[in-house]
Structure formats: C-alpha cells, structure tokens
C-alpha cells in the first residue's frame, strides 16, 4: 500500500477538522436565528405637562425674587414612571409610557412656568440657580398618580408646601394643596389629559396663594 493511499484513508476516517472549520458558521447562524425570535421591544411614549393656562396678571411686577425648589418625594413618586393605584396601597406603572423627566422636576418646571407667566414677580428661579431670592417655595410631592374609585379613573396631585423667608429661613406660610380630576375614560391619552388639568389647577391655586403671602407676610 502506498503512502498516498494511507494519507487519503486517514483523512476520510477523521471528520473533526472539517467539522471544526464549520462550527463558527453554524454558531453564527444559530445566534442570528435566536435573535430574530426575541420579541420586539415595546416603544415608549414620552409625555410632558402642557404649558400652564394661567393668564398674565394686569398688576405691575413686584421687586421680588422667588426660588422654587424641586419637591421632595418618596419612591415610586420620585421617578419618571406614570403611576396608577388600582387598589389602595398598591402602585403599578402604565406600560410603554413615561414622563419626560422625574415627576418632581416635571412639576417644578410646570410651576415655575406658571409663576413667570403670571408676571407679578420680578424673577422666578429654580434651586440650581445662584441668584439671591427673597423667598423660597419648598414642598413635598405626596401624590402624582391616577387611581380607580367607584369604577372611574381619576388623577390626584397632592403637594405639601412651605413658603420660607430666605433671609431668616423661617416658615412664612404652609399649606397642603390637593387637586383631583376625573378622567374621561381609562385610556392612556385621557389619563394624561387629566394629569394636565390637575397640574394646571394646582398651579393656579399655588401661584395666587404664594403671591398673597409674599406681599402680605401673613400666615
């Protein structure tokens, strides 16, 4: 028997080199097939609060500056998830929907816009500004969610507020604001509209209350 025939017979009896060469291609094909079987990620809709409807005041601006601090909040109210309370004591989040920012900052920006649109203060700044202010509005956000009550969906926004004198750091006034708005139905768009109405009503009440306390100094 010649050496060439032995070599051919040896190669025919050992399929491993050929199999090893084909493994990378087989592995890649398997991975691609597996990826195609994964479910497509649900797109996330980002929502924000619309501009406040508060009209511009006819009064001349007062030479006062207000700082609006970002409200404190506990979990899960301190995040961007849009929350619903289907039963007392239970929070769930709407799937595929988020606020554009964490809820406390979202509400802070909405309130600052309302104060500026009202126009009765010389300046309104947030807690990242180094500007000197005459008063500060501190608050705690204890409700910013929808809930089911007697078969209907409603949105509740609750804000515990304190107006502080910046020079003395004393509390000038404090008040709890709570606004409840019924949603037209349980669809996401209807609930978002109810959030917008609730935030708008809160802004109107808070602006008028703050301005009256800043100008009078009464509790």
What are the residue boundaries of the structural domains of the chain, listed by start?
Answer: 3-37, 46-216
DSSP for residue 57: P
User: Contact at 8 Å (CB) between 155 and 162?
Assistant: no
What is the average pLDDT across 101-123?
98
Question: Which residues neighbour 198 within 8 Å (Cβ) at sequence distance 6 or greater?
Answer: 155, 156, 157, 179, 180, 181
Question: Which residues neighbour 205 within 8 Å (Cβ) at sequence distance 6 or greater?
Answer: 177, 179
What is the average pLDDT across 46-54?
94
Q: What is the pLDDT of residue 26?
A: 53
Q: What is the pLDDT of residue 215?
A: 83
User: Contact at 8 Å (CB) between 211 and 204?
Assistant: no
Q: Is the pLDDT of residue 24 over 70?
A: no
What is the average pLDDT across 186-212?
97
CATH superfamily of the domain spanning 46-216:
ABC-type transport auxiliary lipoprotein component (3.40.50.10610)
Q: What is the pTM of this model?
A: 0.79
Q: Is the pLDDT of residue 45 over 60?
A: yes
């Amino acid at each position: 028997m010649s050496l060439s025939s032995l070599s051919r017979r040896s190669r025919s009896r050992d399929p491993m080199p050929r199999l090893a060469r084909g493994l990378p291609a087989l592995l890649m094909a398997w991975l691609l097939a597996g990826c195609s079987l994964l479910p497509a990620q649900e797109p996330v809709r980002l929502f924000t609060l619309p501009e406040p409807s508060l009209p511009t005041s006819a009064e001349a601006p007062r030479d006062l500056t207000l700082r609006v601090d970002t409200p404190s909040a506990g979990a899960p109210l301190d995040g961007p998830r849009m929350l619903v309370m289907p039963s007392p004591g239970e929070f769930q989040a709407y799937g595929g929907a988020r606020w554009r920012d964490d809820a406390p900052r979202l509400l802070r920006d909405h309130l600052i816009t309302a104060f500026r649109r009202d126009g009765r203060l010389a300046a309104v700044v947030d807690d990242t500004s180094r500007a000197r202010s005459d008063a500060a509005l501190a608050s705690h956000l204890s409700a910013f969610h929808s809930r089911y009550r007697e078969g209907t969906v409603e949105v509740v926004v609750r804000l515990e507020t304190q107006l502080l004198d910046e020079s003395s750091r004393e509390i000038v006034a404090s008040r709890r604001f709570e606004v409840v708005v019924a949603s037209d139905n349980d669809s996401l768009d209807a609930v978002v509209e109810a959030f917008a109405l609730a935030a708008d009503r809160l802004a109107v009440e808070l602006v008028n209350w703050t301005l009256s306390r800043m100008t009078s100094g009464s509790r």
